[in-house]
Amino acid sequence: MCISTINKYISSILLLLKRYRAYISLRLNPKIDLLMKTTPHVFSNNDITVTYNPCQCINAERCAKELSNVFRQSVIPWIDLDGESTDKIIQQVKKCPSGALKFHINQKEVA
């Protein structure tokens, strides 16, 4: 096995442990669930609106890895809809494994 494969396995195991700890803490202390509820974040430009639901996200990081100029991990706001074409953003949102990212096309106003 090469080192990159081992690192991927280790990262996957650590992510599973993190989720398991969160699951156990919710089962042991249901009051924590009330604190973790958040509302979806909404990002818009002239063409599209993208919503991100952090409670639904499984942190697969697919969005940030595949379209990093739109889904930025270390910048706030972390979604920059002007970073890429609307078509590419829609394609990436559709790839979200958890469904935490959703989109809709903005209606153009007719004068």
Residues 33-89: pLDDT tens digits? 555 567 888 999 999 999 998 888 888 888 989 999 999 888 888 899 999 999 999
Please state, in angstroms and rounded to a whole number, the distance separating the CA atoms of residues 95 and 62: 8
Average pLDDT over residues 7-15: 77
Per the structure block, which two tokens stand in for 89?
Answer: 């953003």
Q: Look over the chain and give the mean of its residue pLDDT values, rounded to a whole number.
A: 82
Among candidates 47, 45, 101, which has minimal Cα distance to 71?
Answer: 101
Q: Which pLDDT tens digit goes with each residue over 22-48?
A: 666 555 555 555 555 678 889 999 999
- For the whole prediction, is pTM greater than 0.85? no
For domain 38-111, which architecture applies?
2-Layer Sandwich (3.30)
pLDDT of residue 10: 78
